[in-house]
Amino acid sequence: MLVYLRLFAESFSFAINALRNNKLRTFLSLLGITIGIFSIIAVLAAVDSLDKTIKDQLSGLDKNTMYLARFSFGPTDVPTWKRLQFPEVSYTEYKYLKSTLSDAENMAFQLFVKRENISFESKSVNRVNTVVASHEFEDIQALKFSKGRFYSESESNSGRPVVVIGDDIANQLFGSLDPIGKRVRIYGQKFTVIGVVKKEGSGLFGDSNDVSMFLPANYVRNRFGDNNKNMNHIIIIKPTEDVDIDALKAEVTQLMRSQRGLKPDEIDPFFISVISGLQDAIDDIISTLNIIGWVISGFSLLVGGFGIANIMFVSVKERTSLIGIQKSLGAKNRFILFQFLFEAVILSILGGIVGIIMVWLVALAANAFVEDFTFVLSFFNIFLGFALSTVIGLISGVIPAISASKLDPVEAIRTGM
């Protein structure tokens, strides 16, 4: 055992001296593997960060939440021209489903409308994301408030001119003033502010609640009617816990077909989209991004590996005479083998360490300057960087090391001379 430890120590010492005596060559070799490791770890960390941010954004929603509308949230086989002929889901259908469905914990009616301006005295905010929904929207979206409340069932049903605003909107309009009870102007009419949604940060899926305002659906329906072409209707269904989602979708489909009097041979003129399906689609996208990242970064690693192999072959050729002298003095083949193998591995590991440090610095900078997005550098990615750099070093150095260890001492001395 001591003999092998001494062999490793001496081989390692020879490798370090060789790297120290060829600083420029060492630097150029490090550069290739550093770029490769940096590329792979940076891409994997970025994809992990994106995955975490998306899942955090969706964490407030029940993954089984359903969206019933004339349009689909995902890909569909129904041609566009056919989808454009589908009628909007109606408020009547929302009330019918709410009174009929037994496995729905909650249900809300929402209108997708264009952005509107909101003003208070001399201050105004233009093109505000306007969320028009019934009172159940609060519970389904799990809204939290820093001040005030959401509109009540009676306010929602009667279409009272009340509004709930996001944190950014409140700061821009009121500053240090308490916005609760203040009267703002929307649609040219006065609305009473009854609540401010707690600050949540920017969202990946459209505007966040910070830059949004919430209005009762019936106010907009009463003002503009149900047939306004600038509005899209949607019914949001939150199932009860542990319900069979497929069975509930089938029940909703049957009730909607019955309500609309559809014949058996007619297709469903509506779509039921489920959050869990969206999460599956996101997971597929993340997996695809990981594969693309591996492929692109793999080329950088390949170039780095070839660079180290090339440098090692040059090193073997330059030190042919020294190898011959070492072997003539009794150096074993494995001593020569380990000497060059250690040199390649040390080069690769150093390049990997530098690459990981660069990713860590980029992560720090990203977290410092990019708001509402956390760049995650996991322990697994760090370990992967070390492992990859070690493997690349072994693969790149094994052939040059074997060729060096098999040199004939006499021929090696003669060739070197």
List pLDDT tens digits, range 58-92. Answer: 655 557 788 999 988 777 788 888 888 889 999 99
Same domain, 329 and 288: yes
Residues 52 and 107 both lie in one domain: no
Q: Please check whether residues 151 and 206 belong to one and the same domain.
A: yes
In terms of Cβ atoms closer than 10 Å to its own Cβ (0-12, 13-18, 19+), residue 229 is exposed
Co-location of 206 and 294 in the same domain = no
For residues 97 and 12, state if they share a domain: no
C-alpha neighbours within 13 Å on the C-beta side of residue 198: 7
Residue 337 has a pLDDT of: 73
68 in a structural domain:
no
Pair (137, 229) in one structural domain? yes
Same structural domain, 250 and 298: no
Positive or negative torsion for Cα 389, 391, 395, 397: positive
Six token digits for residue 47: 């994809």
Residues 189 and 240 in one domain: yes
Distances (CA, A) of 222 to 63, 95, 228, 350, 364: 32, 16, 11, 69, 51
Residue 290 makes CB contacts below 8 A (sequence gap 6+) with 43, 44, 47
Q: For residues 130 and 331, which has the higher predicted lDDT (pLDDT)?
A: 130
Sorting pLDDT into bands at 50, 70 and 90, what band is 135? very high
Write the secondary structure of 327-378 as one string of H (helix), E (strand) and C (coil).
HHCCCCHHHHHHHHHHHHHHHHHHHHHHHHHHHHHHHHHHHHHCCCCCCCCC
Q: State both tokens at 357.
A: 């440090």
280 pLDDT exceeds 70? no
Q: pLDDT grade, residue 186 (50/70/90)?
A: very high
Q: Please give the model's pTM, rounded to 2 decimal places.
A: 0.63
Q: Does position 163 have pLDDT exceeding 70, yes or no?
A: yes
122 and 237 inside one domain: yes
- Please check whether residue 53 lies inside any domain of the structure: yes
pLDDT higher than threshold 90 for residue 45: no
pLDDT at 78: 81
Q: Which residues contact 292 (CB under 8 A, 6 or more apart)?
A: none
CA dist 236 and 241 (Å) reads: 16
Residue 372, pLDDT > 90, answer no
Q: How far apart are CA 125 and CA 134, in angstroms?
A: 24
Query: What is residue 352's predicted lDDT score, i.e. its pLDDT?
Result: 79
Residue 203: per-residue pLDDT: 56
DSSP structural state of residue 1 = -
Provide the pLDDT confidence category of residue 57 given band limits of 50, 70 and 90.
low
DSSP 201: -
State how far the Cα of 236 lies from the Cα of 332, in Å rounded to an integer.
76
| CB-count exposure of residue 245 (10 Å: 0-12, 13-18, 19+) | middle
What does the pLDDT read at residue 77?
A: 80
Q: What single-letter amino acid sits at 74? A: G
pLDDT at 1 over 60: no
Q: Which domain holds residue 403?
A: 2-58+281-416
| 107 and 51 belong to one structural domain | no
Query: What is the pLDDT at residue 348?
Result: 77
Report the number of distinct structural domains present in the chain: 2
Strands 183-186 and 271-274: unpaired
Pairwise CA distance, residues 90 & 72, whole Å? 16
Domain boundary among 220, 236, 269: 269
Would the pLDDT of 47 be above 90?
no
| Whether 118 and 9 share a structural domain | no
The reply to whether 411 and 358 lie within a common domain is yes
Q: Is 198 helix (H, G, I), strand (E, B) or coil?
A: coil
> Among 269, 299, 319, which residue terminates a domain?
269
**Residue 171 belongs to a domain:** yes
Task: Note whether residue 80 is domain-resident.
Answer: no
Poorest-pLDDT segment among 43-47, 166-170, 269-273, 340-344: 340-344
Domain boundary among 241, 269, 297: 269
pLDDT at site 387? 79
Higher per-residue confidence, 23 vs 179: 179
For residue 145, is pLDDT > 80? Answer: yes
Asked if pLDDT for residue 329 goes beyond 70, the answer is: no
What is the rounded CA–CA span in Å between residue 299 and residue 301? 5
Say if 69 falls within a structural domain. no
pLDDT averaged over every residue in the chain: 80
Specify if 65 maps to a domain: no
